[in-house]
Every structure is written in structure tokens, then in C-alpha cells.
Structure 1
Amino acid sequence: MDTATADLLAFLAASLGTEVGPDDDYFAAGLTDSLFALELVSFVEHRFQLTIEVEDLHLDHFRTATRVLAFVQGKGPEPITSRS
């Protein structure tokens, strides 16, 4: 598992109070609320050093760790594993 995935899964576990896998849909499972959504966006911006615009705020981008990482990869010019 790369650092980006490990960091994101650690954040999710700490925020949700339970372990989730890369493809677990924590929104569909009812583990989240609107405050968590804001925290997730903030974490992603900080961890991956990017700005998430209003037009990027689609639930499908943030529904699973795999989707978050794919979204980040599409937003940035650098590979996500090289950012810290």
C-alpha cells in the first residue's frame, strides 16, 4: 500500500471511528455526516496540496478512498505518492 492510500485510510478510520477498506462506501454505509464531508475535503486539500473548487464537490469523487485518490490524481500534475 502506498503512502497516500495509507494516509487517507488512517484519516478515514480516525474520523469515522472504524476501519474502512479502499472501496468501502462510507457515505452509503451511513458512517458520515455533513461535517465529515467538510473535514474530508479539507484533509484532501491539505494532504495533497491542491484546491478543490465548487465544481469538484461531487459526492462521487469522495465516496470511497479509491475514488478520492483517482480524483486527486486527475487534479494534480504530480503522482500522489510523491506528495507529503
Structure 2
Amino acid sequence: MTNQTTEAADTGTGAPDAVERELLDFLQGHTGTPWEPETDLFRTGGLSSLFAMQLVVHLEKTYGVAIRGADLRMDNFRTARVMAALVGRLKEPRPGGLDG
């Protein structure tokens, strides 16, 4: 799993497919359950509030993003696909060259 995390982080762009695959591996490694990209992790009981915070830290460290304020909404963490999209959005350059 370390290699997959490193490969995903090395993409630099946080390409949604690579991020999604890495997140599914991360989730399976921590829960022992294989997950589909569109599975609602909260509704199925796959994501507790404590694990959600671990996931935020994982995303920030792995992809070099800062998840703050309005981005910390539960809806941004419901599925691996939604989280991959969040990473992609946060990796986009901000107007004026400011990263947040």
C-alpha cells in the first residue's frame, strides 16, 4: 500500500482516477472491507467520525492539500469518488497564485 500512496502522491495533479484507486485501497486497508467508488461510507457504517478525521489527515498529507472551512462538510467525504473530486478541486491553482 505504501507504493500506491507514493505513486498517487507523485502524480502531482491528484488525477481523480489515481486518487480514487488509492482511496479505495486506503479504506480497504483500514476497514478490511472492499469499497466501490460510489458507496456512501456514512450510510453503510464504513466511516465513523474518528476515522473521518484520520481520512482528512491522510488526504492532506498524501496530496498536499488543506481541507478547511466549508470543505469539511460531510458531503465531501461520502464516497471515494467525491473525495477524489475534492482533492482535484483543491489541487487546482487558485486565482492570483494563492493556495488558500
- TM-score calculated relative to the size of structure 1: 0.82
Q: Answer yes or no: is the 8 Å Cα contact 2:24–2:36 preserved in 1.
A: yes
Segments ≥4 residues shifted beyond 6 Å:
none
1:41-80 CA-to-partner distances (Å, cap 9, x unmatched) read 01111111111113211011010000001111111127xx
Which of 5, 8, 11 is the equivalent residue of 2:23? Answer: 8
Query: Which one of the candidate residues 17, 29, 53 is aligned to 1:38?
Result: 53
Corresponding residue number in structure 2 for 1:53: 68
| Aligned residue type for 2:72 | L
Structure-2 separation of matches of 1:72 and 1:12? 16
Query: Which residue in 1 is equivalent to 2:36?
Result: 21
Contact 2:20 2:83 in 1 (8 A): no
| Percent sequence identity over aligned pairs | 36
Residues 42-81 of structure 1 aligned to structure 2 (within 5 Å): 42-77=57-92
Aligned length: 78
Unaligned runs of 5+ in 2: 1-16, 94-100
Query: If you compute each CA radius of gyration, which structure gives the higher value, 1 or 2?
Result: 2
Q: TM-score, normalised by structure 2?
A: 0.70
Q: Which stretch has the larger CA shift, 60-69 or 27-36?
A: 27-36
C-alpha RMSD of matched pairs (Å): 1.7
